[in-house]
Amino acid sequence: MSDRWVDFRTIKASVPIERILARYGATLKLSGIGHLRGVCPLPTHTSDKTRLSFIVNVDKNVWACQSASCVSDRGGKIGGNNLDLIVAMEGCSIYQAALVLEEWFGVGDRQTNSGSGPGLKMGSNHRSPAILENKPLPFVLSDLDFQHPYLLHRRISSQTARHFEAGYYSGPGTMASRVAIPIHNRDGKLVAYAGRSIDDSLPKYRFPAGFRKSQELYNLHRVLASAHCKRVIVVEGFFDCWKVYQSGFPSVVALMGCALSTIQASFLEAHFDEVTLLLDGDLAGKTATAIIGKRLYHKLRIQVGHVPIGTQPDRLSKQELTSLVCSTSPFGLST
């Protein structure tokens, strides 16, 4: 237990919520007096149907997103204050969120009784000690069907499914009758399974309770374990990742959404020199490309693959994806 005392009231009052959003690269526009509105930047936001669902009341220093995916992931909570925003973005506790704001903005009382409280500077492993990590699973699912008709219908070969160890699971539990997708941390430890419904029943993707998508980059451990490569393609979803890999580009990772968390950004900065953004061709994907590009622009070479409007990488053929990856353009601040 840390002996650092935190003045929550001072921290909440001292940090304008728009400064936190700016640090995450969120782009919001004025929507009436004292209000901002834009695409939700939260990693819990998975819906591609809601537009401009994220609202900020600058005067009250609070935010809200009424997207069903966000509200459900937060246990029915529509929004919160600036500390709650850090909790949602980083998957941490309120106490840890306060420590993050102390470090970022130099507010609150940093004194500890012994001087040995937890620091927040990124260490060599690029993880903040204040952020909780996903714990490794004590089990591995067996008897997965790598040749299930649903995978073949989505044009995922059995070889690709086997490579990613993702297949239809007919056993008991939360992954029952779904395509079970193993998720590993950067060190290659299995930390979760995501379950994709095969009949589009809701939720389309089921994640275990307590799993923090913002703490991982899907497929990063394979990319790091393969031949040394300083370039990586970033996509939104699992099937996007598989199709890009299947098209001959193994250095690909997925955000498991369209938001880039602080930890995910640190992984990219630590391991790569060049990032190609290959996000979906809808409004959310285009907006996310602009936000992420601006956030990484001064630290990495950023290329953009212009996915056709109304589609996404997993729906493209091998020839279309090859052409897309080979015809990327440099990101500019005007993008």
For the segment 82-129, what is each residue's pLDDT rounded down to a tens digit? 999 988 887 788 888 888 787 777 665 433 333 323 322 333 343 443
Domain limits at 167? 140-211
Question: Does residue 76 form part of some domain?
Answer: yes
pLDDT score, position 111: 35
| Same domain assignment for residues 47 and 26 | yes
Q: Please, what sign has the CA dihedral across residues 275, 286, 83, 298? A: positive
- Above 90 in pLDDT, residue 145? yes
Identify the residue with better confidence: 196 or 127: 196
Distance (Å) of CA 138 to CA 89, 135, 193, 214? 26, 9, 12, 21
Domain end call among 211, 239, 263 = 211
The predicted-structure confidence for 147-178, as pLDDT tens digits, reads as follows 999 999 999 999 999 999 999 999 998 899 99
Question: Does residue 118 form part of some domain?
Answer: no
Q: Mean pLDDT throughout 11-18?
A: 83
Could you give the number of structural domains in the chain? 3
pLDDT score, position 242: 98
In degrees rounded to 5, what are phi and psi of residue 53?
A: -90, -5
The domain that contains 257 carries what CATH number? 3.40.1360.10
- Please tell me which of 43-47, 203-207, 208-212 the model is most confident about, judged by mean pLDDT: 203-207
Domain end call among 177, 211, 245 = 211
pLDDT score, position 132: 64
Residue type, 324: L
The predicted-structure confidence for 252-270, as pLDDT tens digits, reads as follows 999 998 888 888 999 999 9
Q: For all residues of the chain together, what is the average pLDDT?
A: 84
pLDDT band at 334 (very low <50, low <70, confident <90, very high): very low
Identify the residue with better confidence: 191 or 77: 191
| Same domain assignment for residues 259 and 311 | yes
pLDDT score, position 110: 39
State the residue for tokens 């149907």. 49
Distance (Å) of CA 284 to CA 39, 221, 238, 298? 7, 27, 17, 23
pLDDT score, position 241: 98
Q: Which residues contact 69 (CB under 8 A, 6 or more apart)?
A: 44, 45, 46, 47, 50
pLDDT score, position 24: 76
| Same domain assignment for residues 17 and 72 | yes
pLDDT score, position 128: 42
Least confident segment among 28-37, 226-235, 241-250: 28-37
| Same domain assignment for residues 245 and 283 | yes
Using alpha carbons, select from 267, 253, 6, 21 the residue that is nearest to residue 118: 6
The predicted-structure confidence for 26-55, as pLDDT tens digits, reads as follows 778 887 777 888 888 887 776 666 667 889
The CA-based diameter of the chain, rounded to the nearest angstrom, is 62
- Above 80 in pLDDT, residue 25? no
| Same domain assignment for residues 45 and 85 | yes
The interaxial angle of helices 82-90 and 262-271, nearest 10 deg, is 50
Domain end call among 171, 194, 211 = 211
Q: Mean pLDDT throughout 232-241?
A: 97
The predicted-structure confidence for 273-324, as pLDDT tens digits, reads as follows 999 999 999 888 888 899 899 889 889 999 999 999 989 999 999 999 999 9
Q: Mean pLDDT throughout 221-247?
A: 94
Give the SS3 label for residue 65.
strand
| Same domain assignment for residues 268 and 174 | no
pLDDT band at 196 (very low <50, low <70, confident <90, very high): very high
pLDDT score, position 47: 66
pLDDT score, position 71: 77
pLDDT score, position 124: 34
